[in-house]
Amino acid sequence: MKELLNRFETKAPEIVFEWHDSETTARGWVVINSLRGGAAGGGTRMRKGLDRREVESLAKTMEVKFTVSGPQIGGAKSGIDFDPADPRKEGVLRRWYQAVMPLLKAYYGTGGDLNVDEIHEVIPVTESFGLWHPQEGVVNGHFKPTESQRIQQVGQLRVGVSKVVEDAVYTPAPERKYVVADLITGWGVAESVAHYYRIYGGDLAGKRVIVQGWGNVGSAAAYYLARAGAKIVGIIDRDGGLLKPEGFSFDEVRDLYLNKKGNQLATEGMLPFTEINQQIWNIGAEVFLPCAASRLVTREQLDQLVAAGLEVISSGANVPFADPEIFYGAIYQHADEQVAVIPDFIANCGMARAFAFLMQGGIEISDAAIFSDASATIAQALERCHARSTQRTNIASTAFEIALQQLV
């Protein structure tokens, strides 16, 4: 596996597009690792201090993810080095998407990512420049459709991704009008944990859960796990967090989801970040969901979690461990050898899978169809790992091997 991984990591990306904003200090990159299958896909993120290497590593992560989620295309990523809290953000995004529009029409599909919202930013801005949907480039480059097929596929994407989730099985509050893009990734992370216990043995009900990050992914995953009977015992977010060793009730978790401020935890009684960061790692939990930024989880934090009874990590964040390597460094390997690690390209593939599902012909566009398809895709990926080895450790390395044998 490591030889395959090294070959994949060290191969130069096929296309790198660099951009410098004319009105601010913002810089951006589109990295297309390959045009496998005629197209490439990957979301747009923004953060201050982002660099080309980060975008390259995420593009390679997306290529691995597509071996699970489909379609069978290359990986890509867009990254903008700019403070997302700056009031000039909207203008930066507009100029960025105007610059990359030829790629988005021909062979590159994008979406939301860290600090860039799929529904409220990506879709409206790209639509204003004449793009029917941000995934249109994948439809054109990979499927090479006739005009009627293109209209059908792009139409399904337009309806499905922005569909208001009305089925109470999948939404915390039908009256809030959450859409598929708000919930599907967190749903997949939660389903990966449920499928892990179903396939490898064990009962999810009563398992204690620590969540890192309370954005769309972490908060939704916590909501779905709490509904399934797991106990959320700790939440650590950017500015603080909460601890409750006996576990928050389902209603409490739902309220924390509904009352978040933007993508942050917002409630009375939050512990300051320095305090929660000292306490949460040894409170005791069987499940850990790293759902914040990439490369945050340290070896020390991991060892504390393992010593306190950790069984499974489901990676809501891309590349959650604080390793310099693109995919699988020393901390990641240590985690993989100690507990069950469900890798990011399986656990958080819900949005990528929703895109792939909506590009197919003859589908039903309903909450149940979209969400159950994502769940089934994640289950199949874990079942392939289990077929190779029934051990509860080294799941991530097995998953990487299965994926890389398709790519290298």
Average model confidence (pLDDT) across the chain:
96
Average pLDDT score over residue span 365-385: 98
- Could you tell me the pTM of the whole model? 0.94
What's residue 368's pLDDT? Answer: 98
Pairing of strands 287-290, 208-212: parallel
- Token pair recorded at residue 317: 């964040």
DSSP code for 391 = -
- Token pair recorded at residue 97: 């998407």
Residue 168 has pLDDT above 90, yes or no: yes
Residue 200 has pLDDT above 90, yes or no: yes
What's residue 263's pLDDT? Answer: 87
Burial 346-379 (b: 16+ CB within 10 A, else e): bbbbbbbbbbbbbbeeeeeeebeebbebbbebbb
Dump pLDDT digits (tens) for 295-353: 999 999 999 999 999 999 999 998 899 999 888 999 999 999 999 999 999 999 999 99
Average pLDDT score over residue span 382-387: 98
What's residue 141's pLDDT? Answer: 98
User: Considering the chain, what percentage of its residues have pLDDT values greater than 90?
Assistant: 94
User: Considering the chain, what percentage of its residues have pLDDT values greater than 70?
Assistant: 100
Cα–Cα distance measured from residue 396 to residue 377, given in angstroms and rounded to the nearest whole number = 16
The H or E element spanning position 212 is strand 208-212
> Given strand 240-248, what is the order of strands in its sheet?
271-272, 240-248, 231-237, 208-212, 287-290, 312-314, 340-342
Among residues 3, 107, 89, 101, the alpha carbon closest in space to that of 47 is found at 89
* In contact, 295 and 268? CB cutoff 8 Å: no
* In contact, 95 and 22? CB cutoff 8 Å: yes
- Token pair recorded at residue 278: 């000292």
Work out the number of other CB atoms within 10 angstroms of the CB of residue 168: 10
Residue 293: pLDDT band with limits 50, 70, 90: confident
Dump pLDDT digits (tens) for 75-94: 999 999 999 999 999 999 99
Cα–Cα distance measured from residue 350 to residue 32, given in angstroms and rounded to the nearest whole number = 21
Residue 355 has pLDDT above 90, yes or no: yes
Dump pLDDT digits (tens) for 94-123: 999 999 999 999 999 999 988 999 999 999
Average pLDDT score over residue span 169-190: 96
Cβ within 8 Å of residue 256, ≥6 positions away: 214, 219, 222, 235, 242, 248, 265, 267
What's residue 338's pLDDT? Answer: 98
What's residue 362's pLDDT? Answer: 85
Supply φ then ψ for residue 83, to 5 degrees.
-75, 115
Residue 220 has pLDDT above 90, yes or no: yes
